Amino acid sequence: MSGFLQKPTVKIFIQAATATALGYLAYYFIKSRESHRGIFRKHPRSHRKFKLIKRIVLSPDTRLFRFEIPENEELGISVGKHVKAHAVVAGKEISRNYTPISTVNERGFFDLVIKVYFPNDEFPSGGLMSQQMDSLNIGDEMEFSAPYGTIEFHSDLNQFKVSGGRTLSGLKNIGLLAVGTGITPMWQLIQEMIKNESNTTTITLLYGNRYEHDILLRDRLEKLAKSNPTRFKVFFTLSKPDFTWDKENGRIGKEMIAKYFPAKSIDACFLCGTLRMMDDAKTHLTSIGHNPSNVFKY
Protein backbone atom coordinates (compact mmCIF):
# COMPACT_ATOMS: atom_id res chain seq x y z
CA MET A 1 0.00 0.00 0.00
CA SER A 2 2.81 2.39 0.89
CA GLY A 3 4.51 1.71 -2.49
CA PHE A 4 1.25 2.47 -4.27
CA LEU A 5 1.05 5.86 -2.54
CA GLN A 6 4.73 6.68 -2.98
CA LYS A 7 4.76 6.85 -6.80
CA PRO A 8 1.95 9.42 -7.13
CA THR A 9 3.48 11.43 -4.29
CA VAL A 10 6.87 11.51 -6.03
CA LYS A 11 5.17 12.38 -9.32
CA ILE A 12 3.26 15.26 -7.75
CA PHE A 13 6.43 16.51 -6.04
CA ILE A 14 8.34 16.47 -9.36
CA GLN A 15 5.49 18.28 -11.12
CA ALA A 16 5.36 20.92 -8.39
CA ALA A 17 9.13 21.38 -8.46
CA THR A 18 9.11 21.69 -12.25
CA ALA A 19 6.30 24.23 -12.16
CA THR A 20 8.15 26.24 -9.52
CA ALA A 21 11.37 26.17 -11.53
CA LEU A 22 9.56 27.23 -14.69
CA GLY A 23 7.89 30.01 -12.74
CA TYR A 24 11.24 31.30 -11.52
CA LEU A 25 12.67 31.08 -15.03
CA ALA A 26 9.72 33.00 -16.47
CA TYR A 27 10.04 35.62 -13.73
CA TYR A 28 13.74 36.16 -14.31
CA PHE A 29 13.22 36.18 -18.09
CA ILE A 30 10.58 38.90 -17.79
CA LYS A 31 12.68 40.86 -15.32
CA SER A 32 15.67 40.53 -17.61
CA ARG A 33 13.66 41.86 -20.55
CA GLU A 34 12.33 44.71 -18.45
CA SER A 35 15.80 45.62 -17.25
CA HIS A 36 16.96 45.96 -20.86
CA ARG A 37 14.08 48.04 -22.14
CA GLY A 38 16.35 51.02 -21.87
CA ILE A 39 17.00 53.91 -19.53
CA PHE A 40 15.08 56.54 -21.47
CA ARG A 41 12.08 54.31 -22.13
CA LYS A 42 11.67 53.85 -18.41
CA HIS A 43 12.53 57.46 -17.61
CA PRO A 44 11.82 59.63 -20.69
CA ARG A 45 13.38 63.09 -20.81
CA SER A 46 15.14 62.49 -17.50
CA HIS A 47 18.64 63.91 -17.14
CA ARG A 48 21.31 61.24 -16.71
CA LYS A 49 25.10 61.33 -16.54
CA PHE A 50 27.15 58.94 -18.66
CA LYS A 51 30.87 58.24 -18.39
CA LEU A 52 33.15 58.68 -21.39
CA ILE A 53 34.95 55.36 -21.95
CA LYS A 54 36.44 55.78 -25.44
CA ARG A 55 37.49 58.66 -27.65
CA ILE A 56 38.71 58.30 -31.23
CA VAL A 57 40.05 61.12 -33.42
CA LEU A 58 38.52 60.53 -36.87
CA SER A 59 39.84 63.71 -38.48
CA PRO A 60 41.34 67.03 -37.35
CA ASP A 61 37.87 68.25 -36.34
CA THR A 62 35.82 65.06 -35.91
CA ARG A 63 35.66 62.74 -32.92
CA LEU A 64 33.89 59.53 -31.96
CA PHE A 65 32.84 59.48 -28.31
CA ARG A 66 31.68 56.29 -26.58
CA PHE A 67 29.68 56.68 -23.38
CA GLU A 68 29.02 53.87 -20.94
CA ILE A 69 25.43 52.89 -20.13
CA PRO A 70 25.24 51.58 -16.54
CA GLU A 71 24.30 47.97 -15.79
CA ASN A 72 24.63 46.91 -19.43
CA GLU A 73 21.30 48.52 -20.30
CA GLU A 74 20.06 49.83 -23.63
CA LEU A 75 19.85 53.56 -24.14
CA GLY A 76 16.12 53.25 -24.77
CA ILE A 77 15.43 55.41 -27.82
CA SER A 78 13.80 54.52 -31.14
CA VAL A 79 15.54 54.71 -34.52
CA GLY A 80 15.53 58.34 -35.62
CA LYS A 81 15.33 59.84 -32.15
CA HIS A 82 18.04 62.04 -30.66
CA VAL A 83 19.71 62.55 -27.31
CA LYS A 84 20.25 66.04 -25.94
CA ALA A 85 23.63 66.88 -24.41
CA HIS A 86 23.62 69.37 -21.53
CA ALA A 87 26.51 71.44 -20.19
CA VAL A 88 27.32 74.68 -18.40
CA VAL A 89 29.91 76.83 -20.20
CA ALA A 90 31.06 80.15 -18.74
CA GLY A 91 28.10 80.08 -16.37
CA LYS A 92 25.59 79.55 -19.17
CA GLU A 93 23.47 76.42 -19.66
CA ILE A 94 23.71 75.06 -23.19
CA SER A 95 22.28 72.00 -24.95
CA ARG A 96 22.56 70.33 -28.34
CA ASN A 97 20.85 67.37 -30.02
CA TYR A 98 22.89 64.44 -31.32
CA THR A 99 21.90 61.14 -32.91
CA PRO A 100 23.85 58.05 -31.78
CA ILE A 101 25.47 56.08 -34.59
CA SER A 102 25.38 52.86 -32.55
CA THR A 103 22.35 50.62 -33.04
CA VAL A 104 19.41 51.35 -30.78
CA ASN A 105 19.52 47.89 -29.17
CA GLU A 106 23.21 48.12 -28.28
CA ARG A 107 23.76 47.42 -24.60
CA GLY A 108 26.30 48.96 -22.31
CA PHE A 109 27.31 51.94 -24.45
CA PHE A 110 26.31 54.41 -27.13
CA ASP A 111 28.47 56.18 -29.72
CA LEU A 112 28.31 59.77 -30.93
CA VAL A 113 30.24 61.22 -33.86
CA ILE A 114 30.81 64.93 -33.26
CA LYS A 115 32.24 67.60 -35.53
CA VAL A 116 34.15 70.10 -33.39
CA TYR A 117 33.61 73.70 -34.44
CA PHE A 118 36.75 75.56 -33.43
CA PRO A 119 36.80 79.38 -33.26
CA ASN A 120 37.48 81.10 -36.59
CA ASP A 121 37.04 84.49 -38.24
CA GLU A 122 33.53 83.65 -39.37
CA PHE A 123 32.52 82.06 -36.05
CA PRO A 124 34.72 83.64 -33.32
CA SER A 125 33.30 81.60 -30.42
CA GLY A 126 33.14 78.34 -32.33
CA GLY A 127 30.71 75.66 -31.24
CA LEU A 128 30.39 75.82 -27.47
CA MET A 129 28.97 72.32 -27.01
CA SER A 130 31.30 70.60 -29.46
CA GLN A 131 34.33 72.25 -27.84
CA GLN A 132 33.05 71.29 -24.40
CA MET A 133 32.77 67.66 -25.47
CA ASP A 134 36.18 67.82 -27.11
CA SER A 135 37.64 68.82 -23.73
CA LEU A 136 36.38 65.63 -22.04
CA ASN A 137 38.89 63.09 -20.78
CA ILE A 138 38.30 59.37 -20.39
CA GLY A 139 36.32 58.88 -17.18
CA ASP A 140 34.64 62.29 -17.33
CA GLU A 141 30.85 62.41 -17.30
CA MET A 142 28.42 64.16 -19.64
CA GLU A 143 24.76 64.83 -18.97
CA PHE A 144 22.14 63.71 -21.50
CA SER A 145 18.37 63.52 -21.76
CA ALA A 146 16.18 61.74 -24.35
CA PRO A 147 14.27 61.05 -26.51
CA TYR A 148 13.76 63.98 -28.89
CA GLY A 149 12.77 64.24 -32.55
CA THR A 150 9.71 64.01 -34.77
CA ILE A 151 10.55 60.89 -36.81
CA GLU A 152 10.97 57.33 -35.64
CA PHE A 153 11.31 54.04 -37.50
CA HIS A 154 10.12 50.63 -36.30
CA SER A 155 12.09 47.92 -38.06
CA ASP A 156 9.85 45.01 -37.09
CA LEU A 157 6.89 46.72 -38.80
CA ASN A 158 8.88 48.49 -41.55
CA GLN A 159 6.99 51.56 -40.43
CA PHE A 160 7.75 55.23 -39.90
CA LYS A 161 5.92 57.35 -37.36
CA VAL A 162 6.14 61.09 -37.89
CA SER A 163 4.87 64.16 -36.09
CA GLY A 164 1.13 64.61 -36.07
CA GLY A 165 0.49 60.90 -35.54
CA ARG A 166 1.00 59.96 -39.20
CA THR A 167 2.23 56.47 -40.05
CA LEU A 168 4.08 55.44 -43.22
CA SER A 169 4.14 51.74 -44.09
CA GLY A 170 5.32 49.62 -46.99
CA LEU A 171 7.59 52.20 -48.64
CA LYS A 172 9.37 50.60 -51.58
CA ASN A 173 11.95 53.31 -52.29
CA ILE A 174 13.13 56.14 -50.06
CA GLY A 175 15.50 59.02 -50.64
CA LEU A 176 17.81 60.38 -47.95
CA LEU A 177 19.46 63.77 -48.31
CA ALA A 178 22.03 64.89 -45.76
CA VAL A 179 24.82 67.41 -45.35
CA GLY A 180 27.57 67.48 -42.73
CA THR A 181 26.65 65.95 -39.39
CA GLY A 182 23.13 65.41 -40.71
CA ILE A 183 24.39 61.99 -41.75
CA THR A 184 24.10 60.58 -38.22
CA PRO A 185 20.32 59.94 -38.11
CA MET A 186 20.53 58.66 -41.69
CA TRP A 187 23.24 56.17 -40.75
CA GLN A 188 21.20 54.91 -37.82
CA LEU A 189 18.18 54.42 -40.12
CA ILE A 190 20.16 52.82 -42.95
CA GLN A 191 21.85 50.18 -40.81
CA GLU A 192 18.56 49.32 -39.08
CA MET A 193 16.76 48.83 -42.41
CA ILE A 194 19.56 46.86 -44.06
CA LYS A 195 20.07 44.41 -41.20
CA ASN A 196 16.40 43.36 -41.40
CA GLU A 197 16.41 40.81 -44.23
CA SER A 198 12.61 40.87 -44.50
CA ASN A 199 12.76 44.59 -45.32
CA THR A 200 13.06 45.09 -49.09
CA THR A 201 12.96 48.90 -49.16
CA THR A 202 15.64 50.39 -51.42
CA ILE A 203 17.55 53.40 -50.11
CA THR A 204 19.26 56.19 -52.06
CA LEU A 205 21.49 58.55 -50.08
CA LEU A 206 22.86 61.85 -51.38
CA TYR A 207 25.41 63.24 -48.95
CA GLY A 208 27.00 66.68 -49.27
CA ASN A 209 30.03 68.27 -47.61
CA ARG A 210 32.55 71.05 -48.25
CA TYR A 211 35.79 69.07 -48.34
CA GLU A 212 36.59 65.39 -48.78
CA HIS A 213 37.96 65.09 -45.24
CA ASP A 214 34.58 66.31 -43.94
CA ILE A 215 32.77 63.16 -45.10
CA LEU A 216 31.67 61.39 -41.93
CA LEU A 217 31.28 57.60 -41.80
CA ARG A 218 32.48 57.30 -45.40
CA ASP A 219 34.13 53.90 -44.98
CA ARG A 220 31.04 52.46 -43.30
CA LEU A 221 28.69 53.89 -45.92
CA GLU A 222 30.75 52.61 -48.85
CA LYS A 223 31.19 49.18 -47.27
CA LEU A 224 27.45 48.84 -46.65
CA ALA A 225 26.62 49.96 -50.20
CA LYS A 226 29.13 47.49 -51.67
CA SER A 227 27.72 44.57 -49.69
CA ASN A 228 24.08 45.52 -50.43
CA PRO A 229 24.12 46.85 -54.02
CA THR A 230 20.43 46.22 -54.69
CA ARG A 231 19.25 47.78 -51.42
CA PHE A 232 21.48 50.78 -50.80
CA LYS A 233 23.20 53.34 -53.02
CA VAL A 234 25.25 56.29 -51.76
CA PHE A 235 26.37 59.36 -53.70
CA PHE A 236 28.74 62.03 -52.43
CA THR A 237 29.06 65.65 -53.48
CA LEU A 238 31.56 68.32 -52.41
CA SER A 239 31.13 72.07 -52.65
CA LYS A 240 34.91 72.63 -52.47
CA PRO A 241 36.57 69.57 -54.05
CA ASP A 242 40.23 69.31 -54.97
CA PHE A 243 41.48 68.21 -58.40
CA THR A 244 41.52 64.51 -57.44
CA TRP A 245 37.79 64.34 -56.66
CA ASP A 246 35.93 62.30 -59.32
CA LYS A 247 32.38 62.32 -57.96
CA GLU A 248 29.64 64.96 -57.84
CA ASN A 249 30.71 68.50 -57.08
CA GLY A 250 28.76 71.57 -56.08
CA ARG A 251 26.06 72.30 -53.55
CA ILE A 252 22.96 70.15 -53.60
CA GLY A 253 20.52 71.95 -55.90
CA LYS A 254 17.48 71.24 -58.04
CA GLU A 255 19.39 69.57 -60.88
CA MET A 256 21.23 67.18 -58.58
CA ILE A 257 18.07 66.37 -56.63
CA ALA A 258 16.17 65.63 -59.86
CA LYS A 259 18.98 63.30 -60.96
CA TYR A 260 18.97 61.13 -57.83
CA PHE A 261 15.41 61.54 -56.51
CA PRO A 262 13.00 61.39 -59.49
CA ALA A 263 9.44 61.74 -58.26
CA LYS A 264 8.21 58.62 -60.06
CA SER A 265 10.66 56.28 -58.33
CA ILE A 266 10.89 57.67 -54.78
CA ASP A 267 8.00 57.20 -52.33
CA ALA A 268 9.28 59.50 -49.57
CA CYS A 269 12.28 61.70 -48.84
CA PHE A 270 13.98 62.40 -45.52
CA LEU A 271 16.23 65.43 -44.99
CA CYS A 272 18.80 66.34 -42.36
CA GLY A 273 21.16 69.29 -42.28
CA THR A 274 20.94 73.03 -41.87
CA LEU A 275 17.47 74.59 -41.81
CA ARG A 276 18.22 76.47 -45.03
CA MET A 277 19.39 73.32 -46.80
CA MET A 278 16.27 71.41 -45.77
CA ASP A 279 13.95 74.24 -46.79
CA ASP A 280 15.66 74.60 -50.17
CA ALA A 281 15.68 70.84 -50.74
CA LYS A 282 11.97 70.54 -49.97
CA THR A 283 11.25 73.37 -52.42
CA HIS A 284 13.30 71.63 -55.13
CA LEU A 285 11.67 68.25 -54.45
CA THR A 286 8.21 69.79 -54.69
CA SER A 287 9.10 71.57 -57.93
CA ILE A 288 10.06 68.28 -59.62
CA GLY A 289 6.83 66.55 -58.66
CA HIS A 290 7.22 65.20 -55.12
CA ASN A 291 4.26 65.55 -52.80
CA PRO A 292 5.43 67.92 -50.03
CA SER A 293 3.53 65.80 -47.50
CA ASN A 294 5.98 62.98 -48.24
CA VAL A 295 9.09 65.07 -47.54
CA PHE A 296 10.24 64.95 -43.93
CA LYS A 297 12.83 66.92 -41.96
CA TYR A 298 14.81 65.48 -39.07
Options 98, 207, 260, 298, the catalytic residue: 98
272 as an active site residue: the answer is: yes
Q: What are phi and psi of 50, to 5 degrees?
A: -125, 140
The span from the CA of 188 to the CA of 152, in Å, is 11
The span from the CA of 96 to the CA of 87, in Å, is 9
- Determine if residue 98 is labeled as part of a ligand binding site: yes
- Determine if residue 240 is labeled as part of a ligand binding site: no
Name the residue among 99, 98, 94, 82 with its Cα closest to residue 147. 82
82 as an active site residue: the answer is: yes
CB-count burial class (<10 Å; 0-12, 13-18, 19+) for 61: middle
- Determine if residue 150 is labeled as part of a ligand binding site: no
The span from the CA of 243 to the CA of 241, in Å, is 7
- Determine if residue 115 is labeled as part of a ligand binding site: yes
Options 99, 181, 202, 237, the catalytic residue: 99
- Determine if residue 11 is labeled as part of a ligand binding site: no
99 as an active site residue: the answer is: yes
290 as an active site residue: the answer is: no
Per-state percent for the chain, helix, strand, coil, to nearest 5: 35, 30, 35
- Determine if residue 54 is labeled as part of a ligand binding site: no
Options 82, 202, 269, 290, the catalytic residue: 82
- Determine if residue 113 is labeled as part of a ligand binding site: yes
Options 62, 202, 260, 272, the catalytic residue: 272
As annotated, the active-site residues are 82, 98-99, 272
Annotated binding site for FAD: 96, 98, 113, 115, 118, 129-130, 184
Annotated binding site: 96, 98, 113, 115, 118, 129-130, 184
